[in-house]
Amino acid sequence: MVDFESIRNKSIISAKKDIRESISEDNYIINAINNIDELTKTANTLTKRLRDWYALCLPELSKRIADNETFVKLVISKDRKELFQELKIKESMGKDLDKRELKPVKELALQIKSIYSLRDELKKYLETIMSSYCKNLFSVTGALLGAKLIEEAGSLKRLAMMPSSTVQLLGAEKALFRHLKTGARPPKHGTILQHTLVSSAKKNVRGRAARSVADKISMAVKTDYFKGKFIGDRLNKELEEKLR
């Protein structure tokens, strides 16, 4: 008689083992970059609320300080009089709130600061794993852009198997679909726009810059996947010479 229960248990054990062994650095990288993105969005949304709230006290601060993290730090570390000196103003349109009114504002700022701190810790973790797992990609793109490309491709292997033209357009799928459907202008770049050599390029040559960077990324990631030697410095030098 066939022992179906024994077969079932063995199948479950085998499946669990396969799942456990299938977990790789790709999974860690994808989870880390997704959490970094979510934490950034959450912090930015809450900081917008903080700006609106603190504007009751000192609206001039939000107008002068564009960077969200700097704004949060100032709300936490300085009182209204100190901010008057910081901003070099003599009076404000806002109301001088008492301690009871300011307490929840400060508490919100502290919570936002903790979100930024957690995000920064994840960035450090991501840099550590990227620099060992795919050192050439890390060298060419940095941790955040490299991780985002892996996330969009699905894995380092899939990214390595893509032609550079596909790497160039990762993250621009909606624009590409719109081009195919309506005949709108085709996208010249996707997530790769985050690379400094692409974002800093003049608009009329940005497509060429994106193409060049995508070529080097493709070379870097293929070398990493097939366990080649470190060529990141050479790739960066070639990019600099071509685009600067």
**How many CB atoms are closer than 10 A to CB 64?**
15
pLDDT of residue 23: 57
**How many CB atoms are closer than 10 A to CB 59?**
15
Secondary structure (DSSP) of 192-243: GGGSHHHHTS-GGGHHHHHHHHHHHHHHHHHHHHTT----HHHHHHHHHHHH
145, with CB counted inside 10 A (0-12, 13-18, 19+), is buried
Distance in angstroms (rounded) separating the CA atoms of residues 148 and 169:
13
Asked whether 221 and 137 are in contact (CB, 8 A), the reply is yes
**CATH 1.10.287.4070-classified regions of the chain:** 24-133
Q: What residues contact residue 205 under an 8 Å CB cut-off, 6+ apart?
A: none
**CATH 1.10.246.90-classified regions of the chain:** 135-244
pLDDT of residue 13: 55
| Nearest C-alpha neighbor of 230 from the set 134, 128, 164, 129 | 134
pLDDT of residue 171: 86
pTM of the model: 0.84
pLDDT of residue 62: 84
24-133 maps to which CATH number? 1.10.287.4070
* Domain range 135-244, CATH architecture: Orthogonal Bundle (1.10)
Q: pLDDT tens digits for the chain (244 residues)? A: 445 456 455 555 554 544 554 558 999 999 999 999 999 999 999 999 999 998 888 888 888 889 999 999 999 998 877 877 777 777 777 677 778 888 999 999 999 999 999 999 999 999 999 999 999 999 999 999 999 999 999 999 999 999 999 999 998 777 766 766 776 777 788 899 999 999 999 888 988 999 999 999 999 999 999 999 999 999 999 999 888 7
Q: Give the helix/strand (H/E) hosting 32.
A: helix 25-54
